């Protein structure tokens, strides 16, 4: 028995260098193993974000005749996977919609929400893009034509409850999309503004005068 052990020990000493070499040879094989970050890997289908939104920045419109009204320039921009709930971001996105860029930036700096800073940054980035790359002459002459939110990656975690039960916690991310268009914002983007009493009276009189009394003279 003792001799066997001795034999093994000797083998160990002699073969050590060999073993080390073989280890070195084997190392590159670890590339094929699933060792890298699952988020950055190509086989992770959920990893790519929205891909269509920025494609519209590449469309080239046909040249216009000199007598035609010049087309309004537009820029699409987005920020993906913001660590913020899409439900909460919705309020900010729809708040900003239909405003001019300057107005939106001014308003957003007083919105005390985490998402507001992201939205503001994205709008400012889009504005810069418009001026630098898309031949927009005046940077204030832009309004937010589209502003919406998408759902990003959701990570699920565990929460402990009493009696050995557990709940699922969702750590949500959201995408924010914006499209700036050249020109003045429309007057009533959401609802028409309330009419003044005079306007209401005028409308009523108009209605009264234009009615038709059936079976009358």
Partner 1 sequence: MELAASARCGIKMLQLVQPPAMQALLQMQSQQLRHRQTKHWNPKFKKLRAQKFVKLDLPNFHEKPGDLTQEEIRSRLKERGVLPPRPWLERPFHISCTGGIFEAYVPPEGDGKKSFISSVGAKQKLEFLEKKSKSVMAVRKIRSYEEEFSTDDFASEAQDIYIAAHNQMAAKNKHQLREFVTERCYPEMMHNVRDKTIHWRFLQSLEPPRLVHARVTDIVSKENLYAQVTVRFHTQQMLAIYDRFGRLMHGSEILAKDVLEYVVFEKHISNEYGKWRLHDKIIPDWLPAKEPAPITYRVIEEPEEAMELLAEGDKKLEAGAEKQNPEHLDNIESGAAVEAVNENKAAKSTTASPSI
The one among 63, 164, 192, 197 contacting partner 1 by CB under 8 A:
63
The one among 3, 17, 32, 135 contacting partner 1 by CB under 8 A:
135
Q: How far is the CB of 38 from partner 1 (least distance, A)?
A: 10
The one among 66, 164, 192, 197 contacting partner 1 by CB under 8 A:
66
What does 85-118 look like in DSSP terms, one character per residue?
-HHHHHHHHHHHTT-BHHHHHHHHTT--SHHHHH
CA atoms within 13 A on the CB side of 18: 5
DSSP structure class, residue 54: G
Q: Which residues within the stretch 145-174 sit at the binding site for partner 1 (CB under 8 A)?
A: 153, 155, 157-160, 169, 171, 173
Which residue is associated with the tokens 């418009």? 130
Q: How many C-beta atoms surround the C-beta of residue 126 within 10 A? A: 22
Per-residue mark of binding to partner 1, 93-132 (x: CB under 8 A):
--------------------------------------xx
Q: How far is the CB of 77 from partner 1 (least distance, A)?
A: 15
The whole-angstrom separation of Cα 217 and Cα 207 is 19
Q: How far is the CB of 158 from partner 1 (least distance, A)?
A: 4
The whole-angstrom separation of Cα 145 and Cα 183 is 10
Q: Bridge-partner residues for 75, per DSSP?
A: 180
Q: How far is the CB of 9 from partner 1 (least distance, A)?
A: 32
Residue 158 exposed, middle or buried by CB count within 10 Å (0-12, 13-18, 19+): exposed
62 is a contact residue toward partner 1 (CB under 8 A): yes
The one among 1, 23, 70, 198 contacting partner 1 by CB under 8 A:
70
Phi, psi at 154, each rounded to 5° = -120, 125
The one among 43, 110, 138, 190 contacting partner 1 by CB under 8 A:
138
Q: Which of 6, 18, 142, 173 is CA-nearest to residue 76?
A: 142
Per-residue mark of binding to partner 1, 18-37 (x: CB under 8 A):
---------xx-xx-x-xxx
Q: Which residues bind partner 1 (CB under 8 A)?
A: 27-28, 30-31, 33, 35-37, 39, 58-64, 66, 70-74, 80-83, 131-135, 137-138, 153, 155, 157-160, 169, 171, 173
């Amino acid at each position: 028995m003792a001799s066997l052990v001795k034999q093994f020990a000797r083998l160990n000493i002699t073969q050590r260098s060999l073993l080390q070499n073989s280890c070195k040879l084997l190392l590159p094989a670890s590339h094929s193993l699933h060792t890298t970050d699952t988020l950055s890997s190509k086989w992770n289908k959920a990893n790519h974000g929205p891909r269509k939104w920025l494609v519209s920045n590449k469309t080239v419109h046909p040249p216009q005749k000199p007598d035609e009204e010049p087309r309004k320039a537009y820029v699409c921009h987005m920020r993906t996977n913001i660590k913020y709930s899409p439900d909460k971001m919705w309020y900010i996105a729809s708040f900003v919609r239909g405003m001019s860029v300057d107005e939106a930036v001014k308003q957003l700096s007083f919105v005390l929400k985490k998402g507001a800073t992201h939205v503001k940054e994205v709008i400012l980035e889009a504005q810069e893009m418009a001026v630098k790359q898309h031949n927009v002459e005046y940077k204030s002459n832009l309004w937010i034509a589209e502003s919406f939110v998408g759902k990003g990656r959701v990570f699920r975690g565990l929460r402990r409850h009493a009696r050995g039960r557990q709940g699922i916690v969702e750590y949500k991310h959201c995408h924010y999309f914006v499209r700036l268009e050249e020109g003045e914002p429309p007057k009533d983007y959401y609802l028409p503004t309330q009419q003044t009493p005079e306007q209401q009276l005028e409308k009523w009189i108009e209605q009264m005068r234009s009615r038709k009394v059936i079976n009358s003279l």
